[in-house]
Structure 1
Amino acid sequence: MFTRTLLQNRKLASPQQPMRTATRLLRTFKQEDQPRLRINSVAPNFTANTTQGQLNFHEYLGSSWGVLFSHPADFTPVCTTELGAFARLKPEFDQRNVKLIGLSAEGVDKHNSWIKDIEEISSLQKFSFPIVGDVEREVAFLYDMVDEEGFKNLSGGIVATIRSVYVIDPSKKIRLIITYPASVGRNSAEVLRVIDALQKGDAKGVVTPVDWQPGQDVIIPPTVSDADATKKFGEFKTVKPYLRFTKA
């Protein structure tokens, strides 16, 4: 069961603190209690039951990058294809030191049954990353995963969204947030591409242009002078004073 201690006084745990024991299935969610998550916010910590046992989110990530992605319910068609796609790409994420973790707003027992369908449909021998059981929708609230209509139903009722992706770096900062509508499947290859771009930028002090793929030229930030760019990168091509390309 998802856990938290602060239901009595209606205050959220700070982003650095895990949540503890929930005292009832449904509660009143208030927008004024919801953390404002932005790029470079610390990813809120939580402790929850998953298909791989109870885990503390920050401890699970350790010193790795992470991708947390969510679903409103089990045995839903679009989400089934998405989980299968991420599972097939898991070796690629492993190579980049990225841990995957899914979430669905139903219980772990149901998740385990759903995984059998995912394995069958996606031709997987074994589904190998955890899925959080978020029956009480506490993590969905904490991470602001729902649309306007869905928020009204968080305490009980149908929520069509809870369809967000968060890329989190080893310092536990959120580096990417994408929220999808119910009718549009995610692009798992794009999540992988973004991680490649973020890791390249962090390692080399560069930024990446539109549709960038590994191996293509990168952009030197405007904050770096030409003289410093020559020292750091060697040769580069100037298209405009503010747009300079160099080898990755």
Structure 2
Amino acid sequence: MTEEYCDCWEYEEPVSLPLIGDDAPEFEAQTTTGHMKFPADYKGKWVILFSHPADFTPVCTTEFITFATMQDEFKKLNAELIGLSIDSITSHIAWLKDIKDHVEYKGLKNVEIKFPVIADIKMEVAKKYGMLQPGASDTKAVRAVFIINPTGKVKAILYYPLSAGRNMEEIKRLLQALQVNEKDGVSTPANWMPGDDVVMGAPETFIGAQERDSWGSDGEKTVHSWFLVTKKHK
């Protein structure tokens, strides 16, 4: 008996995702608030597009309750929330209704989820945004977060495993840092919070570096070194 040889391999579709600075991939989808054309429907607004593994799951439920209670805070920052999972509209509606009618978490109850949740049964949006990662699950989206600016550019990407819930205050803080950068052209240091000092850009020439040595600190700025200068931010 001769051994048969097969020169073949199983093709696995690579995971692709937009990168920071890329245009957010366009899509149309049905959501719990109606039909969505993205990003056209959100022109002029910041968007936090986030995925969750599945409806009727415990960690996702805590995240949705927390996001929902912070929705007005995000709106004040000109930002809209959009959720997504690989579930149907019917499943989404049933889950959101159950949250409002029956779930209490950390003293929060009767919480109504008003932001849209995308139904993505065919995984079309999840694949465009790299939310479906075979190493984690073939059928559930990981906890991805995309922060997209008012012109439809991806400005930040966060990924969490299925097991770890997200910190919504950190997502809000990151949004505020991105807005400061776009508005004022400055950067934010470690653990920055609104009202803290911001970081001026480092000089790009030798002469510029030498000039920094003569600056000195004053009431508005602090010279830590020629390459690190912080200043007040209003």
**TM-score bracket for this pair, using the shorter chain length:** 0.7 to 0.9
Contact 1:88 1:124 in 2 (8 A): no
1:74 to 38, 52, 55: 55
Contact 1:29 1:141 in 2 (8 A): no
Task: Specify the alignment match of 1:192 in structure 2.
Answer: 172
1:132 to 118, 121, 124: 118
Distance 1:46 1:113 in 2: 24
2:40 partner amino acid = E
Distance 1:60 1:39 in 2: 21
TM-score, structure 1 length as denominator?
0.78
Contact 2:99 2:111 in 1 (8 A): no
1:46 offset after TM fit, Å? 0.5
Does residue 110 of structure 1 match 2:96? no
Task: Specify the alignment match of 2:13 in structure 1.
Answer: 30
Gaps of 5+ in 2: 1-10
Distance 2:157 2:93 in 1: 27
Tell me the secondary structure at the aligned position of residue 127 of structure 1: coil
| Cα separation, partners in 2 of 1:80 and 1:170, compared to 1, 3 Å | same
Does residue 205 of structure 1 match 2:185? yes
CA RMSD of aligned residues (A): 2.3
Does residue 149 of structure 1 match 2:119? no
TM-score, structure 2 length as denominator?
0.82
Q: Alpha-carbon deviations, 1:41-93, whole Å to 9, x = none?
A: 11101000100111101122121000000012110110111011111100110
Does residue 53 of structure 1 match 2:34? yes
Distance 2:169 2:42 in 1: 21
Q: Alpha-carbon deviations, 1:215-247, whole Å to 9, x = none?
A: 01111011475879x8xx983111011110100
Distance 2:176 2:109 in 1: 26
| Cα separation, partners in 2 of 1:114 and 1:213, compared to 1, 3 Å | same
Runs of 4 or more consecutive aligned structure 1 residues displaced over 3 Å after TM superposition: 223-228
Distance 1:200 1:88 in 2: 24
Contact 2:145 2:158 in 1 (8 A): yes
Contact 1:61 1:170 in 2 (8 A): yes
Distance 2:180 2:57 in 1: 35
Q: Alpha-carbon deviations, 1:72-130, whole Å to 9, x = none?
A: 21101101110111111001100000011000110011101111233343424532110
| Cα separation, partners in 2 of 1:145 and 1:222, compared to 1, 3 Å | same
Gaps of 5+ in 1: 1-27
Q: How many residues align?
A: 210
Distance 1:212 1:162 in 2: 27
Q: Alpha-carbon deviations, 1:113-171, whole Å to 9, x = none?
A: 111233343424532110000111111111011334246x3xxxx43x43100000011
Distance 1:141 1:29 in 2: 13
Distance 2:147 2:66 in 1: 17
- Identity across the alignment (%): 37
1:169 partner amino acid = N
Contact 1:51 1:130 in 2 (8 A): yes
Task: Specify the alignment match of 1:12 in structure 2.
Answer: none
Name which one, 1 or 2, has greater alpha-carbon Rg: 2
